[in-house]
Structure 1
Amino acid sequence: MNGTTIQASSIMEQSEKKAKNFEVIVKNFIAGGVAGMCSKTTVAPLDRIKILLQAQHEYYKHLGVFSGLKEVVQRENFFALYKGNLVQMIRAVPYAAIQFTAYEQYKKHLGKLFEQNSHIDGFLAGAAGGVTAAAITYPLDTIRARLAFQVASNTLYSGIKHAAVRMFKEEGGLRALYRGFWPNMLGMIPYAGFSFYTFEKLKYLCLKYGPHYLCSEHKTTGNLILNIPAKLLCGGAAGAVAHTFSYPLDVTKRRMQLAMMNPTTHKYASGMLSTIKIIYIENGIVKGLYRGMSINFLRAIPFMAVGFAMYEVTKQMLNLDTGVRL
């Protein structure tokens, strides 16, 4: 009888543990989705002009960031700054939800393999989370880039479905939706890895050395949490570091994604290494592989700042992050 009771108790404990873990995953998913929606909407106009500059659109390649934004409004209209943002939301919400949730799960398991505070687990978990999310949502990123690249006077696609069907039929099936996939995956490793590592490292330093200026008390537990300005600061710095390392591969990915939209750019569809070589030969490093870097910093800093800040805030609202007691 005692053995039966113990076994039943063990089964109940395991069931409760699984239910709790599932609840945590769902809450992380919600927090990540909110973060993705807010961060992408914040930088949507900068996202569009970045794509136009990266791929050297004929109407915008001679312009800078602010003159390009002004030209978009004059040539089309104000809402053209948000062209492709619907598909961006369809991609960004699940992407961020998957990325943050996967990061938490990978970190939980990788933390058992490394020494405490080694931070290696944070980098690897961030990289793995980014790769997981990017692999699942990549076709939507390609479609969004196509929609953002076209202008009112030269429209190839009427919407998300039309773009997907036309690319699939005319450009080699599923392969077309995954063009630029490998540079994206390779770029995601330093991008996601350094972004999560940098944020967590800065968060730790703020909590340890600046609690009186950069922290506040959690309403329920009284533990220390970062205040909103500190969250934005740490997130912005994380974005700057991550994008510096991964940017050339982001340019390569964009050239490959948009290669089939113009006969003169078909040469970028042959492969990742050949695309990098062509960009380097034709435009060099600064004006080629790092083209549009200025707008990337203007975009990356608020994007990461809002993303990490909203993720932290939402987690605290859902009682996933109750702070630390130093």
Structure 2
Amino acid sequence: MKERPLSETQYYLRSAVAGGFAGGLAKTAVAPLERVKILLQTHDKDFRRFSGTWRGPVYALQHIATSQGVRGLFQGHTLTLARAVPHAAIGYTVYDRVKLWLMPTPAQNTSLRRVLAGAITGISAMPFTYPFELVRVRMAVEGHVRPTPWGAVRGIYAEGRGRLPVLHFYRGFAVSLLGTVPYRGGIFLVWETLHAEAKARVDPATLQLHKTGIDLAMGAAAGTLAQVVTYPLEVIRRTQQASGRGSPDRMVGFRETVGSVWAVNGWRSFFTGMGIGLFKQVPMTAISLATWQLAKKTLDLPN
């Protein structure tokens, strides 16, 4: 018997589940690396000695595990999932719709439209999920006393006395938007371009047989390019997000943040932690994209 087509409600629900599962699984897989990357990016005083060498991130992981236990490696991960799951659920669902709208035919599947579709995907959920990311960063940079989510929320809220307190939950939001456009745009540009090339050059049976492995490889390539191009903006964003500890009474601007990062070690400061950033971001992007495709297939969604 022929299956009935999905209704709009069924489609959106299944798409959100597929995207949310992919985002949550990928973030969990690299959570310890994410915390170390944040500590290195924000030039935390207890972790500066681990910068400047490829072994530094390994020593940083060992230091956290020894001083704070295994749980310390996942500090703030609950907030990460609270942001990552809805962000991925919304983002991937939006991407499928935007892709269908911008590129309904193969002739319209151009590089510019691929970048635009990825950029729209990246910014679609940010206004709703960004405060979770800020709270997660604050929890990640606290090393001596294990913070609670509500404690971090109260601390950020208290920074906004005398003005709209909610604004302090959006420290670094502008630079995040600036970085998201090339980052997400680049990911989906590489992802779609590689898929198009594979379909044109590889036998369909071979593609189907090795689909998960091919998706992982393409996701890794997409994550590598996007991470390298946009990493300095990420360092600036993380520094702004962590700035409330030192300047709780005011918002630290873009120019001031750039100056403070430069003062640490010149242009090299904008690439601090990039090694572990790649080590984390490449598998995370690969896992997220490949899992998304598997979840869509499991839930009978078009790929």
Work out whether the TM-score is over 0.5: yes
Measured after TM superposition, the shift of residue 311 of structure 1 is: 0.2
Q: Unmatched 5+ residue regions in structure 1?
A: 1-15, 218-225
Is the deviation greater in 180-189 or in 270-279?
270-279
Give runs of aligned pairs for residues 215-294 of structure 1, distance below 5 A.
Answer: 215-216=207-208, 227-262=211-246, 269-286=251-268, 288-294=269-275
Give runs of aligned pairs for residues 51-70 of structure 1, distance below 5 A.
Answer: 51-63=38-50, 64-70=56-62
The structure with more radius of gyration: 1
Give runs of aligned pairs for residues 13-24 of structure 1, distance below 5 A.
Answer: 20-24=7-11
Check whether the contact 1:31–1:97 (CA below 8 A) recurs between aligned residues: yes
For 1:275 and 1:211, the matched residues in 2 are separated by: 50
Is 1:46 the counterpart of 2:28 in the alignment?
no
Q: Deviations over 1:71-130 (max 9, x none)?
A: 111111112101111111111100111111111122222225994231322211111110
Distance 1:139 1:113, change over 3 A: farther
Whichever residue aligns with residue 231 of structure 1, its letter is D
Q: Pick from 29, 37, 41: which aligns with 2:16?
A: 29
Is 1:178 the counterpart of 2:167 in the alignment?
no
User: Whose RCO is larger (CA < 8 A, sep 6+)?
Assistant: 2
Is 1:194 the counterpart of 2:175 in the alignment?
no
Q: Which residue of 2 aligns with 1:84?
A: 76
Q: Pick from 209, 212, 217: which aligns with 2:201?
A: 209
Instruction: Give the SS at the match of 2:227.
Output: helix
Q: Which residue of 2 aligns with 1:310?
A: 291
TM-score (normalised: structure 2): 0.89
Q: Which residue of 1 aligns with 2:102?
A: 110
Provide the alpha-carbon RMSD of the alignment. Answer: 2.3
Q: Pick from 156, 172, 180: which aligns with 1:167?
A: 156
Whichever residue aligns with residue 284 of structure 2, its letter is F
Aligned length: 292
TM-score (normalised: structure 1): 0.83
Overall identity of the aligned pairs, in %: 29
Check whether the contact 2:103–2:109 (CA below 8 A) recurs between aligned residues: no
Q: Deviations over 1:137-180 (max 9, x none)?
A: 000000000111111x245x3x1122112211233411110000
Distance 1:283 1:171, change over 3 A: farther
For 2:36 and 2:278, the matched residues in 1 are separated by: 13
